[in-house]
Structure 1
Amino acid sequence: MREDITTGGCLCGAIRFTIAGPFEHFFLCHCSRCRKATGSAHAATLFSNTARLDWLSGRELVRTFQLPGTRYQKSFCSHCGSPVPNLRRNGGQIVVPAGSLETVPILRPEAHICFSDRAGWEEAAETAPRIDGLPGGRP
Protein backbone atom coordinates (compact mmCIF):
# COMPACT_ATOMS: atom_id res chain seq x y z
CA MET A 1 0.00 0.00 0.00
CA ARG A 2 1.38 3.42 -1.00
CA GLU A 3 1.65 6.04 1.73
CA ASP A 4 0.36 9.51 0.78
CA ILE A 5 3.29 11.94 0.61
CA THR A 6 2.58 15.65 0.37
CA THR A 7 5.38 18.15 -0.25
CA GLY A 8 5.61 21.84 0.46
CA GLY A 9 7.71 24.80 1.44
CA CYS A 10 7.89 28.52 2.01
CA LEU A 11 8.07 31.32 -0.57
CA CYS A 12 11.84 31.84 -0.34
CA GLY A 13 12.52 28.10 -0.49
CA ALA A 14 14.51 27.95 2.75
CA ILE A 15 11.91 25.74 4.46
CA ARG A 16 10.98 22.41 2.85
CA PHE A 17 8.81 19.67 4.34
CA THR A 18 6.90 16.49 3.61
CA ILE A 19 3.78 15.14 5.21
CA ALA A 20 3.36 11.37 5.16
CA GLY A 21 -0.21 10.22 5.57
CA PRO A 22 -3.71 11.48 4.91
CA PHE A 23 -5.46 14.69 5.88
CA GLU A 24 -8.76 14.28 7.72
CA HIS A 25 -10.15 17.82 7.29
CA PHE A 26 -9.84 20.79 4.95
CA PHE A 27 -11.59 23.98 6.06
CA LEU A 28 -11.82 27.52 4.72
CA CYS A 29 -11.96 29.70 7.84
CA HIS A 30 -13.38 33.22 7.61
CA CYS A 31 -12.81 34.29 11.25
CA SER A 32 -11.17 37.65 11.82
CA ARG A 33 -8.02 36.01 13.21
CA CYS A 34 -7.48 33.91 10.07
CA ARG A 35 -8.26 36.90 7.83
CA LYS A 36 -5.68 39.03 9.65
CA ALA A 37 -3.08 36.22 9.65
CA THR A 38 -3.43 35.61 5.89
CA GLY A 39 -4.27 39.13 4.73
CA SER A 40 -7.02 37.51 2.67
CA ALA A 41 -10.69 36.57 2.78
CA HIS A 42 -10.05 33.28 4.55
CA ALA A 43 -7.44 30.75 5.61
CA ALA A 44 -7.38 27.45 3.70
CA THR A 45 -6.15 24.88 6.21
CA LEU A 46 -5.71 21.10 6.25
CA PHE A 47 -5.66 19.01 9.43
CA SER A 48 -4.30 15.56 10.24
CA ASN A 49 -4.23 13.59 13.48
CA THR A 50 -2.40 10.63 11.92
CA ALA A 51 0.14 11.99 9.41
CA ARG A 52 3.82 12.65 10.07
CA LEU A 53 5.50 16.00 9.42
CA ASP A 54 9.15 15.84 8.37
CA TRP A 55 11.23 19.00 7.96
CA LEU A 56 13.63 18.54 5.03
CA SER A 57 15.32 21.92 5.46
CA GLY A 58 14.92 25.18 7.34
CA ARG A 59 13.38 23.84 10.55
CA GLU A 60 15.50 26.35 12.49
CA LEU A 61 13.78 29.18 10.56
CA VAL A 62 10.28 28.24 11.70
CA ARG A 63 8.74 30.64 14.22
CA THR A 64 5.37 30.17 15.90
CA PHE A 65 3.07 32.90 17.15
CA GLN A 66 0.54 31.95 19.82
CA LEU A 67 -2.25 34.51 20.34
CA PRO A 68 -2.41 34.96 24.13
CA GLY A 69 -5.53 33.62 25.79
CA THR A 70 -6.62 31.64 22.71
CA ARG A 71 -5.92 28.36 20.90
CA TYR A 72 -4.88 30.32 17.80
CA GLN A 73 -1.34 29.80 16.60
CA LYS A 74 0.49 30.28 13.33
CA SER A 75 3.91 29.09 12.22
CA PHE A 76 5.86 30.95 9.56
CA CYS A 77 9.27 31.30 7.90
CA SER A 78 11.40 33.88 9.71
CA HIS A 79 12.98 34.89 6.38
CA CYS A 80 9.99 35.42 4.08
CA GLY A 81 7.00 35.29 6.45
CA SER A 82 5.24 32.49 4.56
CA PRO A 83 2.92 30.34 6.66
CA VAL A 84 4.17 26.79 7.24
CA PRO A 85 2.74 23.77 9.11
CA ASN A 86 2.56 23.68 12.86
CA LEU A 87 1.89 21.06 15.47
CA ARG A 88 -0.92 21.33 17.98
CA ARG A 89 -2.30 19.17 20.78
CA ASN A 90 1.19 18.31 22.03
CA GLY A 91 2.25 17.24 18.55
CA GLY A 92 -0.84 15.08 17.99
CA GLN A 93 -2.26 17.23 15.20
CA ILE A 94 -0.62 18.71 12.13
CA VAL A 95 -2.14 21.97 10.86
CA VAL A 96 -1.09 22.83 7.31
CA PRO A 97 -1.74 26.03 5.33
CA ALA A 98 -2.96 24.75 1.96
CA GLY A 99 -1.04 27.47 0.11
CA SER A 100 2.25 26.07 1.43
CA LEU A 101 1.72 22.79 -0.44
CA GLU A 102 3.22 21.90 -3.80
CA THR A 103 1.39 18.58 -4.02
CA VAL A 104 -2.32 18.96 -4.69
CA PRO A 105 -4.11 17.35 -1.74
CA ILE A 106 -6.63 14.60 -2.49
CA LEU A 107 -9.05 16.06 0.05
CA ARG A 108 -11.10 19.04 -1.13
CA PRO A 109 -12.41 21.85 1.09
CA GLU A 110 -15.31 20.46 3.06
CA ALA A 111 -16.73 23.62 4.61
CA HIS A 112 -16.52 27.40 4.94
CA ILE A 113 -16.28 27.87 8.70
CA CYS A 114 -16.92 31.01 10.77
CA PHE A 115 -18.75 32.21 7.66
CA SER A 116 -20.86 34.73 9.60
CA ASP A 117 -17.58 36.51 10.47
CA ARG A 118 -16.53 36.87 6.80
CA ALA A 119 -15.19 40.13 5.40
CA GLY A 120 -17.79 42.67 4.30
CA TRP A 121 -16.27 42.82 0.81
CA GLU A 122 -16.10 39.07 0.20
CA GLU A 123 -19.41 38.70 -1.66
CA ALA A 124 -18.31 41.33 -4.19
CA ALA A 125 -15.24 39.20 -4.94
CA GLU A 126 -17.48 36.46 -6.37
CA THR A 127 -18.55 38.69 -9.26
CA ALA A 128 -15.22 40.41 -9.88
CA PRO A 129 -13.73 39.79 -13.35
CA ARG A 130 -11.31 36.89 -13.69
CA ILE A 131 -8.03 37.75 -15.38
CA ASP A 132 -5.38 35.18 -16.31
CA GLY A 133 -2.21 37.02 -15.27
CA LEU A 134 -1.88 40.63 -14.15
CA PRO A 135 -4.25 43.50 -15.09
CA GLY A 136 -3.39 45.16 -18.38
CA GLY A 137 -1.45 42.11 -19.57
CA ARG A 138 1.69 43.13 -17.66
CA PRO A 139 4.18 40.33 -16.93
Structure 2
Amino acid sequence: MEIKTFAKGSCNCGGVTFLVTVPIDSVFICHCSICRKSTGSGGIAVTVVPTNSLVIETGQDLIQAWEKPNHDWLTNFCKKCGSPVPGKNDEENSYIPVSLLDSGYENLEVKHHLFVDSKASWEEIGKTGTQHKGAFGV
Protein backbone atom coordinates (compact mmCIF):
# COMPACT_ATOMS: atom_id res chain seq x y z
CA MET A 1 0.00 0.00 0.00
CA GLU A 2 1.36 3.39 -1.01
CA ILE A 3 1.62 6.09 1.66
CA LYS A 4 0.00 9.42 0.72
CA THR A 5 2.71 12.05 1.07
CA PHE A 6 1.89 15.72 1.69
CA ALA A 7 5.44 16.98 2.25
CA LYS A 8 9.04 15.84 1.98
CA GLY A 9 12.16 17.25 3.55
CA SER A 10 15.85 16.80 4.16
CA CYS A 11 18.75 18.19 6.13
CA ASN A 12 21.49 20.28 4.51
CA CYS A 13 23.67 17.30 3.52
CA GLY A 14 20.69 15.13 2.49
CA GLY A 15 21.61 12.41 4.97
CA VAL A 16 18.36 12.73 6.91
CA THR A 17 15.23 12.59 4.76
CA PHE A 18 11.61 12.42 5.84
CA LEU A 19 8.05 12.60 4.63
CA VAL A 20 4.81 13.84 6.16
CA THR A 21 1.56 11.94 5.68
CA VAL A 22 -0.86 14.72 6.74
CA PRO A 23 -1.48 18.17 5.25
CA ILE A 24 0.46 20.96 6.94
CA ASP A 25 -0.41 24.65 7.00
CA SER A 26 0.54 26.16 10.37
CA VAL A 27 3.92 27.61 11.31
CA PHE A 28 4.91 28.32 14.90
CA ILE A 29 7.91 30.60 15.41
CA CYS A 30 9.64 30.33 18.77
CA HIS A 31 11.64 33.40 19.76
CA CYS A 32 13.03 32.10 23.08
CA SER A 33 16.73 32.41 23.91
CA ILE A 34 17.21 28.63 23.81
CA CYS A 35 15.89 28.37 20.23
CA ARG A 36 17.94 31.42 19.22
CA LYS A 37 21.15 29.81 20.50
CA SER A 38 20.21 26.46 18.97
CA THR A 39 19.74 27.93 15.49
CA GLY A 40 22.05 30.96 15.56
CA SER A 41 19.13 33.12 14.41
CA GLY A 42 16.07 34.93 15.78
CA GLY A 43 14.40 31.61 16.68
CA ILE A 44 13.02 28.62 14.89
CA ALA A 45 10.03 28.18 12.60
CA VAL A 46 8.36 24.77 12.92
CA THR A 47 5.20 22.95 12.02
CA VAL A 48 3.77 20.33 14.36
CA VAL A 49 2.31 17.00 13.22
CA PRO A 50 1.13 13.82 14.94
CA THR A 51 4.23 11.67 15.46
CA ASN A 52 2.73 8.78 13.49
CA SER A 53 2.44 11.16 10.48
CA LEU A 54 6.19 11.76 10.30
CA VAL A 55 8.30 9.10 8.59
CA ILE A 56 12.09 9.31 8.75
CA GLU A 57 13.10 7.71 5.46
CA THR A 58 16.89 7.83 5.74
CA GLY A 59 19.51 8.90 8.24
CA GLN A 60 18.00 7.79 11.54
CA ASP A 61 21.57 6.93 12.58
CA LEU A 62 22.64 10.54 11.84
CA ILE A 63 20.11 12.08 14.23
CA GLN A 64 21.61 13.30 17.49
CA ALA A 65 19.45 14.60 20.34
CA TRP A 66 20.48 17.24 22.86
CA GLU A 67 18.46 18.05 25.95
CA LYS A 68 19.10 21.29 27.83
CA PRO A 69 19.87 20.39 31.46
CA ASN A 70 17.19 21.43 33.96
CA HIS A 71 14.72 22.33 31.18
CA ASP A 72 11.92 20.57 29.36
CA TRP A 73 13.63 21.24 26.02
CA LEU A 74 15.08 18.86 23.48
CA THR A 75 16.47 19.41 20.01
CA ASN A 76 17.56 17.02 17.28
CA PHE A 77 20.21 17.73 14.69
CA CYS A 78 22.10 15.93 11.94
CA LYS A 79 25.50 14.73 13.19
CA LYS A 80 26.97 15.20 9.71
CA CYS A 81 25.86 18.74 8.74
CA GLY A 82 24.41 20.19 11.96
CA SER A 83 20.97 21.01 10.51
CA PRO A 84 18.13 20.93 13.02
CA VAL A 85 15.94 17.95 12.15
CA PRO A 86 12.46 16.80 13.22
CA GLY A 87 11.98 15.71 16.80
CA LYS A 88 9.59 15.01 19.63
CA ASN A 89 7.36 17.94 20.57
CA ASP A 90 5.28 16.16 23.23
CA GLU A 91 3.82 12.69 23.83
CA GLU A 92 1.67 12.74 20.66
CA ASN A 93 3.35 15.23 18.33
CA SER A 94 6.61 15.94 16.55
CA TYR A 95 7.99 19.24 15.31
CA ILE A 96 9.49 19.78 11.87
CA PRO A 97 11.73 22.78 11.15
CA VAL A 98 9.95 24.22 8.11
CA SER A 99 13.23 25.32 6.52
CA LEU A 100 13.93 21.62 5.86
CA LEU A 101 10.88 21.15 3.65
CA ASP A 102 11.69 20.41 0.01
CA SER A 103 7.99 20.16 -0.91
CA GLY A 104 4.63 20.65 0.77
CA TYR A 105 5.38 24.13 2.07
CA GLU A 106 3.18 26.00 -0.42
CA ASN A 107 0.26 26.49 2.01
CA LEU A 108 2.26 27.27 5.12
CA GLU A 109 1.29 30.37 7.06
CA VAL A 110 2.71 31.78 10.29
CA LYS A 111 -0.07 31.25 12.85
CA HIS A 112 1.74 31.78 16.18
CA HIS A 113 4.79 33.54 17.61
CA LEU A 114 5.92 31.99 20.90
CA PHE A 115 7.95 33.56 23.73
CA VAL A 116 7.79 37.02 22.19
CA ASP A 117 8.68 38.54 25.59
CA SER A 118 12.16 37.05 25.26
CA LYS A 119 12.79 37.78 21.58
CA ALA A 120 16.07 39.39 20.59
CA SER A 121 16.02 43.20 20.76
CA TRP A 122 17.08 43.42 17.10
CA GLU A 123 14.34 41.13 15.84
CA GLU A 124 11.13 42.45 14.29
CA ILE A 125 8.12 40.15 14.30
CA GLY A 126 6.12 40.07 11.08
CA LYS A 127 2.47 41.02 10.73
CA THR A 128 1.03 37.49 10.59
CA GLY A 129 0.40 35.20 13.54
CA THR A 130 -0.88 35.59 17.07
CA GLN A 131 1.81 36.67 19.53
CA HIS A 132 2.13 34.80 22.82
CA LYS A 133 4.22 35.97 25.79
CA GLY A 134 5.21 32.38 26.48
CA ALA A 135 4.30 29.02 25.07
CA PHE A 136 1.29 28.41 22.83
CA GLY A 137 -1.91 29.40 24.58
CA VAL A 138 -0.13 31.51 27.22
1:116 counterpart residue number: 117
User: Residues of 1 paired with 2:55 and 2:96: CA distance?
Assistant: 12
Indicate yes or no: 2:56 matched with 1:61.
no
Matched pairs, number: 123
Deviation at 1:11, TM superposition (A): 0.3
1:96, distance to aligned residue in structure 2 (A): 0.7
The equivalent of 1:89 in structure 2 is 90
Structure 1 residues 30-62: Cα deviation after superposition (integer angstroms, max 9, x where no partner): 110111111001210111236511121111100
Mapped pair 1:100 → 2:96: no
For residue 3 of structure 1, report the CA deviation from its aligned partner.
4.5
- Structure 2 equivalent of residue 78 of structure 1: 79
Gaps of 5+ in 2: 127-138
- Structure 2 counterpart of 1:12, which letter? C
Whole-angstrom distance in 1 between the partners of 2:56 and 2:5: 16
TM-score of the superposed pair, with normalisation by structure 1? 0.78
Distance 1:105 1:93 in 2: 22
Q: Give how far 1:80 is off.
A: 0.4
Task: Provide the rounded CA distance (Å) in 2 between the counterparts of 1:71 and 1:54.
Answer: 24
How far apart are the structure 1 equivalents of 2:42 and 2:85?
18
Q: Residues of 2 paired with 1:105 and 1:64: CA distance?
A: 29
The structure with more radius of gyration:
1
Q: Once superposed, what is the RMSD of the aligned Cα atoms?
A: 2.3
2:36 corresponding residue in structure 1:
35
